[in-house]
Amino acid sequence: MRSLGFRGVLIALAILGATVLAVAVLILKPALLAYFIGVFTPCAAVYILEGSKRRFAWIGSAAMTLAAAGPIVLAGLLDGKLFIMGNIWAWGVPVAAGMAGTAVAIIVPAIGEAITTREQKEQFAILEERQTALIAEWGETIKEPLSPPS
């Protein structure tokens, strides 16, 4: 039998936490179900729009939305006078957090790729200088010059 590993345990805990929260909403305050669905609708849109096999943006969006909406839903369950449906911050913070999670999942890899590309171009420029110096010292030994990676 294969072990879950750290990633598998984290995913299992996230699913367990979301399930417990959803069941508590259904049992204690079913009106919060509309809030729960409304807040996670952007996550579903990101899931549909992403379309790749890895789905990093959806994972980032769902994790950040759950982290922001969980305490709000818990407060709504524990405080009978708190009206979450009419609170703009209760809607805005989880949606903004989900957008931030999506941005992190999309922008951070792009930045890393740009930095790697820049470093590769710098290394290639150093190699071209070295090649020019070697040609000046030893003479031409190759028929065509190297071209940088695209």
As given in the structure block, the two tokens for residue 51 are 């379309």
Q: In Å, how far from its chain's centre is CA 144?
A: 44
- pLDDT of amino acid 83: 85
pLDDT of residue 87: 87
pTM of the predicted protein model: 0.62
Query: pLDDT tens digits, residue range 42-53?
Result: 888 888 888 777
**C-alpha to C-alpha distance for 49 and 75, rounded to whole angstroms:** 32
Q: Which run of H or E residues covers position 21?
A: helix 5-28
> Model confidence at 150, in pLDDT bands (50, 70, 90)?
low
pLDDT tens digits for 97-147? 999 988 888 888 888 899 999 999 999 999 999 988 888 887 766 666 667
Q: How does the average pLDDT of the chain come out, rounded?
A: 84
Ordered DSSP codes for 52-89: SSS-HHHHHHHHHHHHHHHHHHHHHHH-TT---TT-HH
Q: pLDDT tens digits for 8-34?
A: 887 788 888 878 878 888 888 888 888
Range 57-79 average pLDDT: 86
